[in-house]
Structure 1
Amino acid sequence: MILLPRALLKEIVEAGEAAYPEECCGLLVGFGETGGELTVTGVERSPNMAGEEAAKRFEVSAQVRFDVMRKLEDGPKRIIGHYHSHPDQAAQPSANDLEMAWEPDLVWLITSVADGQAIHTTAHLPHPDGSGFSEITLRTND
């Protein structure tokens, strides 16, 4: 299960709507154990570095990731996942997502955006063997 404050979900949804028709992306910061309960305490936006393919895939900036890792290196919080949007597609992992799922301990938060309007957000964990994803419970709170 992943717990996401409504204010942070709103930030992710707004990023997806603003990036439409391209995918938005960023990192989820928080604490907890993968496979147990995870709590998101912050989101870090990233430019989508996928270039001409930004409408169907995402790539978090290496600089953004490095900066976040440095900021968190001696504290209890860590990168627990990333988020991105699916323009005019379901909030389910795509074949492109599966190709990029090389960190099985990171949550994939996906927001479906249709005609510039966010519709649905889901959370997933990649299978360690790379065969797919399992949807996990996403809960919001104040």
Structure 2
Amino acid sequence: MIRLKPDHLADIEAAAEAAYPYEACGLLVGRAVGADAIEVTRVVPSRNVAAEQEARKDRFEIDPKLRFDVMRECEGGPEDIVGHYHSHPDHPAEPSAIDLSMAYDREYVWVIAAVAAGRVARVAAHRLNRAGDAFEEIPLRVQGQEGA
């Protein structure tokens, strides 16, 4: 399970809508809480630096300098990069074949915002399965909402 604060979800949704029809992306920083839960403490937006603008409609690349800077900020502290978010313009909030080809860390959570006609329709969280060959949806809880 991954837990977000309402403002984290709002930031992800706003970034996804602002980037439409391209993919938005960013890092999720937080910490493990118990054996099966991750608590996000901050959302760090990134420019989508995928090589060509047209490619940004169906793929994302987080700015490597930003990733490195956040890794250094987290070094030795209680927080770490726990995953990332990105949007799927006019596609479901499910990992694509491109997402699977980019997945390299089974511990990372992938939060995906489906955007239909410029508005977020659904946000879901996924993680690679044990074999690393497919994603599994995991519960996404927003603090203060039912079941969070």
Q: Do they superpose with TM above 0.5?
A: yes
Please report how far the alpha carbon of residue 128 of structure 1 lies from its aligned counterpart in structure 2 after TM superposition. Answer: 3.8
Give the aligned residue type for 1:2.
I
Report what 1:21 is aligned to: 21
Please report how far the alpha carbon of residue 33 of structure 1 lies from its aligned counterpart in structure 2 after TM superposition. Answer: 5.7
CA RMSD of aligned residues (A): 1.3
Please report how far the alpha carbon of residue 98 of structure 1 lies from its aligned counterpart in structure 2 after TM superposition. Answer: 0.4
Please report how far the alpha carbon of residue 129 of structure 1 lies from its aligned counterpart in structure 2 after TM superposition. Answer: 2.6
- 8 Å CA contact retained: 1:112, 1:121: yes
C-alpha separation between the residues in 2 aligned to 1:127 and 1:97? 14
Unaligned runs of 5+ in 2: none
- 8 Å CA contact retained: 1:34, 1:105: no
Matches within 5 A, 1:92-111: 92-111=94-113
C-alpha separation between the residues in 2 aligned to 1:18 and 1:126? 28
Please report how far the alpha carbon of residue 74 of structure 1 lies from its aligned counterpart in structure 2 after TM superposition. Answer: 1.5
Aligned length: 142
Unaligned runs of 5+ in 1: none
Report what 1:2 is aligned to: 2
Matches within 5 A, 1:1-142: 1-32=1-32, 36-52=36-52, 53-142=55-144
Instruction: Output one character per residue of 1:33-86: Cα deviation in whole Å (capped at 9) or x when no partner.
Output: 696110001011110011321000001110010000011102100000000000
Instruction: Output one character per residue of 1:13-37: Cα deviation in whole Å (capped at 9) or x when no partner.
Output: 0000000000000000000069611
Q: Matched residues, percent identical? A: 48
- 8 Å CA contact retained: 1:50, 1:58: yes
C-alpha separation between the residues in 2 aligned to 1:61 and 1:28? 14
